[in-house]
Amino acid sequence: MEPFAPLAERLRPRNLDEYIGQEHILGKNKPLRRTLESGIVPSMILWGPPGVGKTTLALMMAEITKRQFHSLSAISAGVKDLREVLSKPSGLFPPILFIDEIHRFNKSQQDSLLGAVEKGQVTLIGATTENPSFEVNSALLSRCQVYILEAFGKKELESLLDRALKSDTWLKDKNIRVDSSDSLFRISGGDGRKLLNLLELVVNAQVGQPEMVINNDLVEEVVQKNLARYDKSGEQHYDIISAFIKSIRGSDPNAALYWMARMIIAGEDPKFIARRMLILASEDIGLANPTAMMVANSCMDAIMKIGYPEGRIILSQTAIYLATSPKSNASYVAIDMAIALAEKTSHLPVPVDLRNAPTKLMKEIGYGKNYQYSHNYEGNFAKQNFLPDELKGEKLYEPSNNARENEIKRSLQNWWGDWYGYE
């Protein structure tokens, strides 16, 4: 290792026992750990936020299985680089090809990997901070396992800080005392690499002092001096998109445009902005203005075709439209309630009246016998129970108070009245 390597690099774990976090996949008897201990490494996508050990995990897999290891960054690599790696001779087992930020590869670049992965010429490990369902070709995704890595919690960050102070030679010589660490953990935002970089900054800020003390006030002071305007892979990325979404949800188009502009000037992926607005259109506007979903979806489609700089106009129009739309999270609340109810009652049978009867036997035993076909009744409605008998009258959707959903509520009152409590 280089003598002046960053602290995060010096502390990179070399085996599974040193690896911090991701107990859900790497703990004792967990799926990925069992796979590695068997000496098998399938092609996979590691999906998770920055600084949670995706690169480290890939390196350890190569070390554990004694495979050749090739690394490319999708930011700078192209098809030529891929072909060069694939043309290299391999040993007894296929080499591991690690591609960082694989979501940045375009379709043709991802397609160039298909044959090699399918034939077992390489074992692909792709790392991404973006949802692979959106960013990785379905053909490539179907050939890979997907493992989700989680942001570090306080427990993991404490372990990482403790290891740094006790095991790194440079830090051990500094006589460091930690009085408070809340700011270190909060600013790190679950990013282990960011925690170590910040620790290094704080320590360097006290060079020459006989005793170094780390506390919240000092950390805040150092951060204010070193805070970058916007880091697409760090805390600012998540903070600014959060501010953007909350501004639209709060019906403030001016704030929404400001936070969007912050992302645009920093070079944020326009698809990321459009995708978040599409989610918001359903989650926070929903049936209060069903057209919002169509506008947001059209924006997503247009951005896929246009990109920057013209795409900024479409993003702006959509953000203003969503911010000034009436708001409702009723559909969002309803599906979460429905899922929670379904998880507790999945043993309940479908009522006999609602069952399909494609065979004579099914008809004879009463399948569908008492079902009332809605179109045979006045107003195309017949009041009947569509839930399991044990859940009769269980209300999941409660319309919000806005013009569109007030109309829906009146219809529900006319149809169902006190059956579901729509009064």
Could you tell me the residue ranges of all domains in the chain?
21-148, 154-226, 235-323, 349-419
Q: Which residues of the chain have pLDDT under 70?
A: 1-4, 90-91, 224-236
pLDDT of residue 228: 46
Question: Residue 331: its pLDDT value, please?
Answer: 93
pLDDT at residue 341, rounded to an integer: 92
Q: Which residues contact 277 (CB under 8 A, 6 or more apart)?
A: 248, 296, 299, 300, 315, 318, 319, 322
With respect to CATH, is domain 154-226 assigned 1.10.8.60? yes
Domain 21-148 falls under CATH 3.40.50.300 = yes
pLDDT for the residue 158: 92
Tokens of 96: 């591991």
Among 1.20.272.10, 3.40.50.1220, 3.50.50.60, 3.10.20.600, name the CATH number for the domain at 235-323. 1.20.272.10
Question: What is the token pair recorded at 117?
Answer: 């992965």
Helices 235-249 and 253-265, packing angle to 10 deg: 160
| pLDDT given at position 172 | 82
CA distances from 166 to 171, 173, 220, 390 (A): 8, 10, 24, 59
Given this model, what pLDDT does residue 328 score?
95
Residue 185 CB-density burial (10 A; 0-12 exposed, 13-18 middle, 19+ buried): buried
What integer pLDDT is reported at residue 254 of this predicted model? 94
